[in-house]
Structure 1
Amino acid sequence: MSRPPAKRTTLATIARAAGVSVPTVSRVLNGDDQVAEDTRARIEQLLEEYEYRAPRKRSAVSAETVHVIYPRLDSSWQLEHIRGMEAVMREAGVGLVVSALDRGVEGREGLLRRARSGQTAGAILAGASGETPLGSVLDHLNVPVISLDPGLRAAAKLPTIGATDWLGAHAATDHLIGLGHRRIGMITGSRGGLLCSRARLDGYRAALEDAGIAEDLSLVEHGEFEYRSGITAAQRLLDHEDPPTAIFASSDHIALGVYEAARIRGLWIPDDLSVVGFDDLPLARWAAPPLTTVRQPLEEMGGLAARTILSLARRKRLDSPRMELGTRLVVRASTAPPR
């Protein structure tokens, strides 16, 4: 490919180099899924090579909006994120728009429309939404983007906000080991490659290794961050010929699914089965018995994401592209020594 010219690159420049029309390049920038994959890849490669950035219309941050995009809106932990974001945005006088990818193109098109008109201060791509082409599209439109609780690929491309998931999972597993448990089941969250899910599994494995306990792969179930997934995964673990005496669940929703699976089998928590969750949502305190869990500061993470995207919108440099907030174990009544 030819060397990028010194003068500012235009859409026409990219179109000529790719052998396509200007509208086709524009469709790629707008995230249009109808462009052929090989054509899209060729255009995106040229956009990177020519370092194309759309001219950004100057406007006060206070007159703009920040978009947060989730794969879907179906969990109370998202509300904790949004609570933290909203407080920061309200103080800054910036609007917050929350959208979900599973609601069709409306949220995405609204974001891109505002981005093209210079009315978007930035975008927060939460969870697996950071794995979509939105990040690179917005980058080419000169819109700041960060990822909150990122996927594995997003973590390599975007500034990220997360929690110390590995340490939290290690602490949860170590707590169960300290109570005397040796057969400890684990239910992961999200097969989609979220960084937090991978880190929690690694923390669990490291705690077993540190205690000299050989990992039993049959005690690890891969699920989703959902209540129903917790039920089905726990049922498989409890059907084991030598079932676990404790289960570490990657989220509080999964942990409550474990509660239900235990109830169906007539097992008492923690007498027959100890359970630890992850998140420390309000429902963890309301469970019967109250759930031992790892607290991750979801509201604070949302606030940090909001402050970070506003800093980028004001052209400030980040001290680090990867930011993590601390987790801590909260011991309640769902864990006890094994019988």
Structure 2
Amino acid sequence: MAVTLADVAARAGVSSATVSRVLNGNYPVAGSTRERVRRAVAELDYVVNGQARALAAASSDLVGVLVNDVADPFFGLIASALQREIAAGPGRLPGDGKLAVVCNTGGSPEAELTYLTLLERQRAAGVVLTGGAVEDRQHTAAVTARLARLAASGTRIVLCGRPPLPDAGAEITTIAFDNRGGARRLTEHLLSLGHRRIGCVAGPLERSTTRHRLEGHRAALAAYGLAPEVAAGEEFRDLPGRPVVHGGYDRSSGYDGALELLRKDPAVTAIVAANDTAALGVCAALRDRGLSVPGDVSVAGFDDLPFSVDAAPALTTVRIPLQEAGARAGRLVLGRSAPPPGAMATVATELMVRGSTAPPSGSAR
């Protein structure tokens, strides 16, 4: 027979109303009383009627986590940390958590909007949007409108690894990644080694992450007098000895991008990849062309995904603390942590120098 709210109340020695207040968390209850109720919930293995709670309250026990590509380790690390935090969190009872639903958009703006509409219908308790945003005014306006409706209905909204939305309001919390600073330090590292012909296999042209990393890359080049200053947001164009090609964040895009860079500038001595996965494709293309890494061409990635240190040679990259960021987003979306000042926090990145970069050999190819 199913355990009822009254059974929990009897075990804890309190009223059913007090049990309801503890479970909903929207009324102050003495610490000792709250602990008795939680102990009774655990002992009786009581499961809250989620549908009834959703009808009685403003939201359900569901938290939606939107990712661009669930197979990409970048999103997997964020989503797994989010899910662990949302399910319960350290030191909490299993009944304290909520259900995390990972929504794979496949990078489609239309799918992103569809998921937000479905989560609104489900009265989601929270929504976390991860990764770079599509830079399109119409899409941005549509996303902002949907998130505003969700926030107005009581849903907590967190952007993780995504730039803040203009005019979104203080109800939406942003955890941004320092992609510009990380990319600048990475290119400065290559320049300090003596590289001057640096190619770039960048990500999709319409993604905010791609633009921010290119801005950091070109800022480093400009500081060395190798590129003209370009206004923020202006498209990054090829320069002699510093070609750029765009692709995805996958291995095949890195492979094809490296071959295109070598066609544009056979004398390139270093390649910066969109991320670590693309960097592996770059290394494979160079090997297939009979070139060594870093003897002939240095290669650098971004994100510091778990396989990066085990690549041969180990990959120079920029570390983003993805799991820490995901866990923080989980606490924020559940209201377990106070929002940062101005509802905006920037996660610092760290340059990880490894064996895939070295001074240019100067050999002709």
TM-score bracket for this pair, using the shorter chain length: 0.7 to 0.9
Instruction: Evaluate the alpha carbon distance shift between residue 233 and residue 164 of structure 1 in structure 2; reply closer, same or farther with a 3 A threshold.
Output: same
Do 2:103 and 2:115's aligned partners in 1 also have CA atoms closer than 8 Å? no
TM-score (norm 2): 0.68
Do 1:122 and 1:145's aligned partners in 2 also have CA atoms closer than 8 Å? yes
- Alpha-carbon separation, structure 1, partners of 2:314 and 2:283: 11
Instruction: Evaluate the alpha carbon distance shift between residue 183 and residue 107 of structure 1 in structure 2; reply closer, same or farther with a 3 A threshold.
Output: closer
Instruction: Evaluate the alpha carbon distance shift between residue 240 and residue 76 of structure 1 in structure 2; reply closer, same or farther with a 3 A threshold.
Output: same
- Alpha-carbon separation, structure 2, partners of 1:264 and 1:184: 20
Alignment match of 2:307 (pick from 273, 276, 283): 283
Aligned AA for 1:97?
V
In percent, how many aligned pairs have the same letter?
Answer: 35
* Structure 1 vs Structure 2 CA RMSD: 3.0
Are 1:93 and 2:93 counterparts? no
Are 1:148 and 2:145 counterparts? no
1:49-64 superposed matches below 5 A: 59=57, 64=61
Between 1 and 2, higher relative CO (CA 8 Å, sep ≥ 6) is seen in 1
1:178-193 superposed matches below 5 A: 178-193=192-207
- Alpha-carbon separation, structure 2, partners of 1:238 and 1:267: 11
Residue 58 (structure 1) shift? 5.7
Aligned to 2:346: 324
Question: Secondary structure of 2:201's match?
Answer: strand
- Alpha-carbon separation, structure 1, partners of 2:260 and 2:113: 38
- Structure of higher CA gyration radius: 2
Residue 287 (structure 1) shift? 1.1
> What does the per-residue CA deviation read over 1:260-316, in whole Å, with 9 as the maximum and x for residues that have no partner?
11011010000000011000001111211110110011111211221222229x9x6
Residue 64 (structure 1) shift? 1.4
> What does the per-residue CA deviation read over 1:75-122, in whole Å, with 9 as the maximum and x for residues that have no partner?
01111101221232121512211111349999987865564454x211
- Alpha-carbon separation, structure 1, partners of 2:133 and 2:104: 9
- Alpha-carbon separation, structure 1, partners of 2:133 and 2:308: 27
Instruction: Evaluate the alpha carbon distance shift between residue 59 and residue 192 of structure 1 in structure 2; reply closer, same or farther with a 3 A threshold.
Output: same
Aligned to 2:274: 250
Do 1:151 and 1:193's aligned partners in 2 also have CA atoms closer than 8 Å? no
Question: Secondary structure of 2:334's match?
Answer: helix
Divergent runs of 4+, >4 A: 102-114, 128-132
Aligned to 1:48: none
Which segment drifts farther, 159-168 or 210-219? 210-219
Alignment match of 1:268 (pick from 274, 292, 309): 292
Which segment drifts farther, 99-108 or 177-186? 99-108
1:152-191 superposed matches below 5 A: 154=165, 157=168, 158-191=172-205
- Alpha-carbon separation, structure 2, partners of 1:114 and 1:162: 23
Instruction: Evaluate the alpha carbon distance shift between residue 58 and residue 207 of structure 1 in structure 2; reply closer, same or farther with a 3 A threshold.
Output: farther
Instruction: Evaluate the alpha carbon distance shift between residue 188 and residue 151 of structure 1 in structure 2; reply closer, same or farther with a 3 A threshold.
Output: farther
Aligned to 1:84: 81
Which segment drifts farther, 284-293 or 102-111? 102-111
Do 1:162 and 1:323's aligned partners in 2 also have CA atoms closer than 8 Å? yes
- Alpha-carbon separation, structure 2, partners of 1:335 and 1:113: 46
How many residues are aligned here? 278
Structure 1 unaligned spans of 5+: 1-55
1:1-339 superposed matches below 5 A: 59=57, 64-89=61-86, 90-91=88-89, 93-102=97-106, 112=117, 115-116=120-121, 118=123, 120-127=124-131, 131=139, 133-141=142-150, 142=153, 143-150=155-162, 154=165, 157=168, 158-194=172-208, 196-214=209-227, 217=239, 219-311=243-335, 318-339=340-361
